[in-house]
Amino acid sequence: MSAGAAAIRVVVVDDHPTFRIGMSALLAATPGLEVVGQAASRAEAVGVVLGADPDVVIMDLDLGDGSGVDATRELLARRPEVAVLVVTMLDDEHAVYDAIRAGARGYVLKEAQPQEVERSIRSVAGGGLVLGAGVARRAMEGLAARADARPFPQLTDREREVLALLAQGLDNAAIARSLFVTTKTVRNYVYAIFTKLEVKDRAALVVLAREAGFGGDER
């Protein structure tokens, strides 16, 4: 930090006193950071933040009197300029998505090294969005799992387009015109779809596709 630059003002919110006090001491000893408050609950956090006017709030998600997600949402409704950095034990993708939707700018696990926490504080204070390494990996795994949960994940994107058009009742020639390919190419796609979905005729395929939600705007 350049000489004369203001320190980043931090409030630590966590209902576990050992972690809260330890984190506060660690940050207070870090050049360029200033701990201006602590809170042990959702209700206390609101009052402390309003009084201390921090740049960054370190927020646990599991507070004694409520959720850190709700606390984040409430704090940002009153102080939208504050950067909330979630530091928690919870590492599932749902918690990450909920926190980010509530307005948190960062999400780091409590197992993170002190240097990672410091970097994350400086990043969110500067307007950045931070996901710790373990958090980012879990979030990507969750997104991949959701993608694989689509109907017929064994189909390629092009085969899904063809299936959607089939479900709309188009014949091969109409599908070819829609996709700007030859009728032979469409036949090959249809054959591949038959094989992968293990259906014997076009009527059965159309029924299967419509039951899975195809036939609307899948293209």
Task: Say whether 59 sits in a helix, a strand or coil.
Answer: strand
Confidence at residue 218, expressed as pLDDT on a 0 to 100 scale: 45
| Structural domain contains residue 1 | no
Domain finish residue from 119, 146, 173: 146
Total of domains in the chain: 2
103: containing domain = 8-146
Residues 133 and 81 in one domain: yes
In whole angstroms, how far apart are CA 127 and each of 105, 108, 110?
8, 16, 22
Q: What is the CATH number of the domain that holds 161?
A: 1.10.10.10
| Structural domain contains residue 88 | yes
Q: What is the CATH number of the domain that holds 120?
A: 3.40.50.2300
| Beta strands 106-109; 130-131: pairing state | parallel
Residues 75 and 96 in one domain: yes
Q: Which residues contact 111 (CB under 8 A, 6 or more apart)?
A: 134
DSSP 83-118: EEEEEES---HHHHHHHHHHT-SEEEETTS-HHHHH
pLDDT digits (tens, 9 = 90+) for 170-183: 999 999 999 998 99
pLDDT digits (tens, 9 = 90+) for 95-125: 888 898 899 999 999 988 999 999 999 999 9
Share of the chain above pLDDT 90, in %: 62
31/2 Cα distance (integer angstroms): 11
